[in-house]
Amino acid sequence: VAGFLTPRGEYGHLSEARSAEIESSIEGMGMTLEQAKSLRRALLRQKVMRCHKRLQSFAPRLMGYYAHGESIVSIARRYDFPPINTFRAILVASGCTKAEVKRALQDPETYLSERDQNQLKRAIEEDTVTQIDQSGMAEHADLFETILCDYFTEQGVRFRTQAELLAEQTKVPGGVVCTPDLLLLDHVTINGHPVSWVDAKCFYGADLSIPRGKTQKQADRYVKHWGQGALVYRRGFCSALHIDGAVLLDSTPLDLQELERHHAENIHSRQE
């Protein structure tokens, strides 16, 4: 699956033709197109993390190609690096500090030349993984958490939210911050397992080493403080995925209409 979901040099948004190709390829695999797209994002994020050191070592060479007129997107595709990180690496190789790079990406009109501005714009268009503005994804995740809270409220289950837990725990100097999305105050059993906390995952639960390890560390902290809990995956999860101390759930019982509208609006605004 990974091979056709993440071909060499492809980090951008999927065209309709590419989406149709993926949908055809996964036919009979028991996976929806949206699950495949979510898996693709997870695979790309893992790929980006694994190629980071290689990108840094190649940066002086990439800077030379860029100085001689080659575009960021062309360089990134040739070496199979994410375009935005490629641009960052070239700026660092040219002598910019990390702080200067951050300022330049946040305010390109002030800190970048006209060519660099145009190259950054193209890099952003071709890179869905290392996005500069993560606000859309954060809003989507927050909305999913809200829907999850609404569901438990409708079921008559009392809970404390992540924001409430954070406010309480940060009052104590040096206190341990351990804040699942929902800490259940009532006794709740799901699929025969007692559940003390619930955390929302607004993506497909793939059995990939890096995201699995990250989620396991998070679950371990929650289990240590609150006992066994549950993870709710927006796009479902792979049957091979296992997280110690957590029941894995999909979003089937939830009303996701508002979330789907938000997703559609994001796609529409991106296409404008």
CA distance 191 to 163: 27
All domains of the chain, ordered by start, with CATH?
1-130 (no CATH), 135-263 (3.40.1350)
String of DSSP letters for 94-137 = TT--HHHHHHHHHSHHHHS-HHHHHHHHHHHHT-SSS-S--HHH
CA distance 271 to 77: 22
The whole-model pTM stands at: 0.86
* pLDDT given at position 266: 66
* pLDDT given at position 6: 94
- Size of the chain, expressed as the number of residues it contains: 272
Q: Give 238-244 contacts, CB < 8 A, sequence gap 24+.
A: 238/204, 238/205, 238/206, 238/207, 240/207, 241/205, 241/206, 241/207, 241/212, 243/212, 243/215, 243/216, 243/219, 244/216, 244/219, 244/220
Q: What is the dihedral of CA 37, 38, 39, 41, to 10 degrees?
A: 90
* pLDDT given at position 262: 77
The first and second tokens of residue 173, run together, are 């100097």
String of DSSP letters for 208-226 = -HHHHHHHHHHHHHHHHHH
* pLDDT given at position 54: 96
39, 186, 45, 28: which is closest to 127 by C-alpha?
Answer: 45
For residue 91, what are the contacts with CB-CB under 8 A and spacing of at least 6? Answer: 100, 101, 104
CA distance 230 to 193: 9
**Tens of pLDDT, residue by residue, the chain (272 residues):** 778 899 999 999 999 999 999 999 999 888 999 999 999 999 999 999 999 999 999 999 999 999 999 999 999 999 999 999 999 999 999 999 999 999 999 999 999 999 999 999 999 999 999 877 666 778 889 999 999 999 999 999 999 999 999 888 888 777 677 899 999 999 999 999 999 999 999 999 999 999 999 999 999 999 999 999 999 999 999 999 999 999 999 999 999 999 888 777 765 555 54
* pLDDT given at position 270: 53
